[in-house]
Amino acid sequence: MSKVMGQGWYCRERVSRVSGRPHVRHCVATHLSTMGGGALPAHQRAPRALGYSSCGTMNGALLSPAKVNLLLKVISKRPDGYHNLVSIVDLVSLYDRISVGELPDNRVVVRDTEGRLPEGAGNTVWRAIMLLKEKFPRTPGVEVVIEKRIPMGAGLGGGSSDAATVLLSLVRQWKLPVGLAELRDLGSRIGADVPLFLTCGPSIIRGIGERVSPIRLPALGYVIVYPDVAISTKDVYEGLRIVLTKRENEVRFSEEFRSLLDIADVLENDLEEVVLLRCPEIKTIKERLKEAGAVGSLMSGSGSAVFGIFGDLEKAEEASKRVGDLGQVFTAESARRGRDRWKSPMSRSTRSTKRK
């Protein structure tokens, strides 16, 4: 039996106008010390020196967000086989839910509620914990239970996000003397997207993902469609045959994104052409999303999920009704995390519709 680690956040629930079921207001979380409960004990506070807080919670579970790539340009192939890239990324309010507990021995157990995730070294969360314990060997055993809501093999960063969320949680719970730069370095050894989720906000990423710079983006509404086709990132990059940009500074774009149209102007993904050969449905999904009112649409990451961008969540929810036959459909909005909380500017529910 694991001992559940204490959490420092509370999420309000409201009843969805769509389904009538309770849902979290995208973790518009309130620090418990503001609710009349007094100050939290030190072990439950986020380490201020790091410049970040742990993720929000819902009913005691950590929330781990997905990402979408608004721009993904592959620059060059490195001698080690990895690729340098430039990408603009937004985090969205589609979350995995994670429970982290301590075990009385030194074991590390990572499992998901549906038994789909690999065990051991094939699991990014397991690798993240083992690297942290390697650096800090006098730490207890850990049990992690993940409720997967972010589709796997979709290009939405679910595995990297989960690893980053667990790292942040353990650093806080164990009060480890780890700075953000050191944690990013650790994260880059786990997965290319982990440093992004440790920074946690809209960002420009460069190199193989280890160089992360915050960027301001307008709040967007999204419809995300996953056509139930899992794509291997490694296979996509191995199949990359496009003419690569030679220098990073050849990728030019304005970093002033003030409107939906500014975002639509940069939508581009160099990997899309490769994935289309494996998943031709992507072209149809992009077209249908635009017909449903999306200002622009694009495949995220290495696929196969495709997203459409909208001015607000209401427009996205309305459009989602017109693409429900294309696969798993999720509506989401830009997720913003402040110093003490996950914030979602439009505060609506995330809803998914599975094809019948």
Residue pLDDT, tens place only, 115-133:
999 999 999 999 999 999 9
235: Cβ contacts below 8 Å, ≥ 6 apart: 278
Omega of the bond leading into 304 within 30 degrees of 0 (cis): yes
Range of the domain at 59: 3-353
Q: Tell me which amino acid residue 208 is.
A: I
Average pLDDT value for residue range 279-305: 98
Output the pLDDT for position 6.
Answer: 37
Give 54's DSSP letter.
-
How much is the pTM?
0.81
Q: At residue 219, does pLDDT exceed 80?
A: yes
Average pLDDT value for residue range 252-263: 84
How far is residue 308's CA from residue 329's CA, in Å, rounded to a whole number? 11
Question: Considering the chain, what is the average pLDDT of its residues?
Answer: 80
- Residues taking part in catalysis: 67, 193
Q: Are 164 and 186 in contact (CB under 8 A)?
A: no
How far is residue 93's CA from residue 200's CA, in Å, rounded to a whole number? 12
CATH number reported for the structural domain that contains residue 80 in this entry:
3.30.230.10
Output the pLDDT for position 261.
Answer: 94
Give 36's DSSP letter.
T
Residue of 168 and 250 predicted with greater confidence: 168
**pLDDT band of 78, cuts 50, 70, 90:** confident
Tally of structural domains, the chain? 1
Residue of 237 and 27 predicted with greater confidence: 237
Residue 215: closest CA among 199, 231, 226: 199
Average pLDDT value for residue range 314-343: 84
Output the pLDDT for position 352.
Answer: 55
**pLDDT band of 70, cuts 50, 70, 90:** very high
